[in-house]
Structure 1
Amino acid sequence: MTRIRTTHVGSLVRTPELTELMRAREHGEPVDPARHAEVLGAAVADVVRRQVEIGIDVVSDGEYGKSDSWSRYVRERLGGFTTTEETGKTDGRSNVPPGTDKHLFGEFYDEYEAGQGFVGGGGEWRATGPIHYTGAEAVGRDIANLTAALSGVDGQAEGFLPVVAPASAVPRPTHDHYPSDEELLFAVADALNQEYRAVIDAGLTVQIDDAHFTIAYDTMRGDLAAYRPWAELRTEALVRALDGIPPERSRYHICWGSWNAPHVGDVPLRDIVDLVLRVPVGTYSLEQANPRHEHEWRIWADVELPEGKTLMPGLVSHATNVVEHPDLVADRIVRLAELVGPERVIASSDCGFAQGPLVRRVHPSVQWAKLESLVEGARRAGERI
């Protein structure tokens, strides 16, 4: 049997205890640091154990240590920025940016956003001084919790930590200190390089999350001529941020926004695949269960995957509570493996099952059922191959 390895994109639904602490913090209520550390450490140990028991090969801390969303957490780890007004609280507002999708489906979004628990984005994050990294303690805590959890389980599971890309750290750059967006982005890249290196130095794999890289196309109303220069500059910044990071210990994740919505304004993978492959990592994480992008596995019939590179296709969706059948997961693996080789496919999810501490995409019981189906589907694919 061919062994198909398994992983996921990183963010998992938080425990009730951890969620309550984070909700209190978002509302400005005092949270005892010792209590938070205790709850966080126990939650990471439990979520790692459950991943290993299911059979996931490369596991994460569930992003449990992040204080906000997958990208906004970095606001506590970068110095040189000023928030011009208090960040909004959880009030049902969405952080889905306006663009083609919202223009075409305005009535849908009015209803959808009213039921979402996003953290509101009230407040401009402006670079008012030299950008520098201040997150050594925070990333060190996340590393320590994950490595401790891994040491407490049986088996050979590997660990990874998701971190943000420069484009997604500052998706809408505003600055007084830097004369151009380019200089700001490169300063952010240099600062984030320290976070990436910390993960690598700890013996873990680093995953670079970059949803805003693709989302910008929708906000530009599908203007590819305007989008390409924007995206090329962000790719250069990411290449700079990855300086000194071993490709075999890094992976790059893009998605088209984790919300459950039409997504008709998404940029086609074919229009950006050259930029994706320019990023010097070993593994590329791409949505393949998303019905707007599932067909794009076919591009690997005529786009050459560079030597030594691996694909990490999403085979189960974060955006629906329907649990994919293992045979469907196997079908998705086999058809891609026939194009690039089974040794170059790692079975994964489309995106994270939680937007952040306070927003989940599926029920936690469904999340685990999906991961179980992923593992079983990978096993069946291995038998077929």
Structure 2
Amino acid sequence: MTEILTTHAGSLPRSPKLIDANAARPVGADGLTPEPTDEFREVLRQAVADVVAKQRSIGISIPNDGEYGHLMGSAVNYGSWWSYIFDRVSGLELTGDDHFSSEPVRSSPGNVRLTTFPDRRDWTTFADAYQDPTSGITVGTQVTFPAATGEIAYSEAGRELGQQDIANFRAALDASGYERGYLAALSPGSGSRIVDDHYGDEDAFLDAWVEVMRPEYEAIAAAGLIVQIDDPSIAENWDQINPEPSVEDYLAFTRKRVDAVNRALVNVPTEQTRFHLCWGSWHGPHTTDIEFRHIAPLLLEIDAKYYSFEAANVRHEHEWTVWEQLELPEDKVIVPGIVSHATNVVEHPELVAQRLERFARIVGPDRVIGSTDCGLGGRIHPQIAWAKLESLVQGAEIASKRL
């Protein structure tokens, strides 16, 4: 029997103890970086050991550290996958000028530019629903993001935090008997979405983020771990361009960000790399998401072995048929989302099996790893999140037996 493996997209629910310990840490003089303490380090170390052990007990094949080193000080948080890097990069400053407070930016043919977060086309199309607290739409707690006010660089503090994540995770893997696991890291393109008050040139700012992120990728790979590049921007940027651009203009805009990922990964073995694409984890209509068929070929240009993407939520589940037209190179593996972060309904194991079988019949069961659409931590209740992972494993077992 060919076993279909399971994993997840990254963030897992934090314990109240870890959230409280993070929220209680004093912030340094830059207003961004929480001061580390021995007490917090121990809380974090034990939390990582516990979450890896829990993944083992459920039966997850390829675990991570729950992104616990990507710190959250509240139970609801949609942005720690991105904001964690602000603790690790010099040249950033809280200026009050961010993507929530700035004026909207308009694009034109041949001149694609990101606008502000509140000016997203999905948010403006459904403005009444977004502003109604009873609508069920959630985007997480919006925080003030820094701007680049000087030359950015991966700081010494960043290297220490990265090594702390690696050490905690390696120890937890060994304790739970895992042979492999992955750590998530921000993409250069997603990093470059913060406000640039220094470089004054989009391409130069993107190039700077390539140099910033390369040390983190290389450190993770050097420890024998898989590097997951988190890059919602490849798909999500489409909704943050106003008015809607042509597909051709968007692909030209996005290809620069794909090239940036590849340049940052130049010293990381392809077999130790996986790439995560999504359309943004907020719980909203998503009617302005770009179709997967437009960007899937570009996805395969990224120098990774594993490709993680949303395939379970109701806006994108139908797009599994893309793989009937798009040939997956023989040395590549797809990691589709099989359970969703966007609903409190726990998927039935039989539905999980059916979804996995769709992909397995196209590319082969040995080239499919069942996953989640996005990270579950900070987005749905912990009890529901763990139930979804249990259902994922049960469904993979059903599919494996049938295939």
Structure-1-length-normalised TM-score: 0.90
Q: Give CA deviations for 1:17-48 in whole Å, capped at 9, x if unaligned.
A: 11112233489899771221111111111100
Which amino acid counterpart does residue 193 of structure 2 have in structure 1? P
One-letter amino acid of the counterpart of residue 306, structure 1: P
Report whether the alignment pairs 1:267 with 2:271.
Answer: no
Judge conservation of contact 1:173–1:181 (CA < 8 Å) in 2.
Answer: no
SS class of match (2:50)? helix
- Structure 2 counterpart SS, 1:208: strand
Match of 2:361 among 338, 341, 345: 338
Q: Distance in 2 between matches of 1:208 and 1:32?
A: 25
Deviations 1:266-309 (A, max 9, x none): 01111111211110000000111011110111011111112200
Residue 110 to residue 33, structure 1, CA distance change in 2 (3 Å): same
Contact 1:59 1:157 in 2 (8 A): no
Give the match for residue 264 of structure 2: 241
* Structure 2: segments with no counterpart, 5+ residues: 73-79, 100-115
Deviations 1:116-174 (A, max 9, x none): 584533354124125344411001000111111111113x4521101000111121451
1:193-342 correspondence runs (5 A): 193-221=214-242, 222-223=244-245, 224-342=247-365
Deviation at 1:98, TM superposition (A): 2.7
Output the CA distance in 2 between the equivalents of 1:4 and 1:331: 13
Letter in 1 for 2:20: E
Change (3 A) 1:123 1:50: closer
Matches within 5 A, 1:146-225: 146-154=169-177, 156-176=178-198, 178=199, 180-221=201-242, 222-223=244-245, 224-225=247-248
- TM superposition shift of 1:335: 1.0
Please name the residue that 1:38 is paired with: 42
Paired residue type of 1:125: A
| 1:137 and 2:160 correspond | yes
Q: Give the deviation of 1:362 after TM superposition.
A: 1.3
Aligned length: 372
Contact 2:89 2:154 in 1 (8 A): yes
Question: Structure 1 residues 309, 381: CA separation in 2 closer, same or farther (over 3 Å shift)?
Answer: same
Identify if the C-alpha distance between structure 1 residues 180 and 61 changes in structure 2 by more than 3 Å, giving closer, same or farther: same
Alignment gaps of 5+ in structure 1: 89-94, 355-359
Is residue 403 of structure 2 the alignment partner of residue 381 of structure 1? no
Q: Any idea what SS the aligned residue of 1:72 has?
A: helix
2:70 maps to which residue? 66
Kept in 2, the 8 Å contact 1:210–1:254? The answer is yes
Separation in structure 2 between the aligned mates of residue 24 and residue 60 of structure 1, nearest angstrom: 25
**Is this contact kept in 1: 2:154–2:212, CA < 8 A?**
yes
Cα distance in structure 2, aligned partners of 1:307 and 1:246: 17
CA distance in 2, matches of 1:99, 1:319: 19
Superimposed CA distance per residue, residues 213-237 of structure 1 (whole angstroms, 9 cap, x where no aligned partner): 2221011143234422221111111
Q: 1:351 aligns with which of 370, 374, 378?
A: 374
Change (3 A) 1:307 1:172: same
Q: Do 1:189 and 1:237's aligned partners in 2 also have CA atoms closer than 8 Å?
A: yes
Which piece of structure 1 moves more, 3-12 or 125-134? 125-134
Residues 21 and 115 (structure 1), Cα distance of their counterparts in 2 relative to 1, 3 Å cut: farther
Q: Please list the CA deviations of residues 239-276 of structure 1 after superposition, one character each: whole Å capped at 9, or x if unmatched.
A: 11111111111100011111111110101111111211
Identity %: 42
Asked if the contact 1:87–1:121 (Cα under 8 Å) also holds between the matched residues in 2, the reply is no
Name the stretch that deviates more: 60-69 or 76-85.
76-85
Which one of the candidate residues 91, 95, 98 is aligned to 1:80?
91
Contact 1:133 1:194 in 2 (8 A): no
Residue number in structure 1 paired with 2:111 = none
1:357 — aligned with what?
none
Q: Is the 8 A contact 2:98 2:195 kept in 1?
A: no
Equivalent residue of 1:185, what SS? helix
Q: Matches of 1:369 and 1:102 in 2, distance apart?
A: 30
Q: Does 1:102 align with 2:123?
A: yes
SS in 2 for 1:304: coil
